[in-house]
A and B are shown apart, each in its own frame.
Chain A
Amino acid sequence: NAGVTQTPKFRVLKTGQSMTLLCAQDMNHEYMYWYRQDPGMGLRLIHYSVGEGTTAKGEVPDGYNVSRLKKQNFLLGLESAAPSQTSVYFCASSYTFNQPQHFGDGTRLSIL
């Protein structure tokens, strides 16, 4: 039982490049979330999903897209990376909205 797994763990991109971050959970959770964590800013919700095939915007969705084609996977895409997107990205999952969230180990992304 791996819980929540994020890939990759580290990545360096050049401005304008695109990439996809993958999150996988094996707990049969309905809800999945993508957050970014910046110094002094806490965890800010980018996008979330309440079930397979659904997505919704969080606090800071601009510049990101997501997809939830399979219940266990939640993908975060950056179409044209910008230096302002340099951050640590965390994926999380939960049974429902008012249940504890289980986090992955994070992806440290640097945009040069």
Chain B
Amino acid sequence: GENVEQHPSTLSVQEGDSAVIKCTYSDSASNYFPWYKQELGKRPQLIIDIRSNVGEKKDQRIAVTLNKTAKHFSLHITETQPEDSAVYFCAAQNRDDKIIFGKGTRLHILP
């Protein structure tokens, strides 16, 4: 079945700097890759997603890149702000149509 690996598990960056979170997946048939943000005690919420027919997608300070050959995708957050502090989950949709989530990255934005 699908396996999604996410790194790092914890990331601390200075406010204003960029943050990058990386994920790899195992199922070459996967074609949908969402990213969710979960603030402490809250529900996960979609922040951006990408499909296999594009290599990059951007929404203001957030961007996602996808390398299908290498089977990895990354989340980039630029000009980080205190409200970016949260846990971020990547996910990949596998051949059985289930979404498999990575274990999450806890992002700390340092003042």
Contact = CB atoms under 8 A, between A and B. Distances in A.
B93 A98 contact: yes
Interface in B43-73: 43-46, 49, 51
A100 B48 CA distance: 9
A42 B43 CA distance: 13
| Dominant secondary structure at the B interface | strand
Contact of A45 (B44, B51, B100): B100
A51 interface: no
Contacts, number: 52
Contacts of A35: 101
Given A98-B32, A98-B51, A100-B49, A106 B101 contact: no
Interface in A54-86: 58-59
B89 interface: yes
Interface in A11-60: 33, 35, 40-45, 48, 50, 58-59
A48 B32 contact: no
Interface residues of B, number: 24
B44 A58 contact: no
B89 A43 contact: yes
Given A97-B93, A100-B46, A103-B45, A44 B101 contact: yes
A110 interface: no
A43 B44 contact: yes
10 contacts: A40-B104, A41-B103, A42-B101, A43-B89, A45-B100, A98-B31, A98-B97, A101-B36, A101-B99, A103-B45
Interface of A: 33, 35, 40-45, 48, 50, 58-59, 90, 97-98, 100-101, 103-106
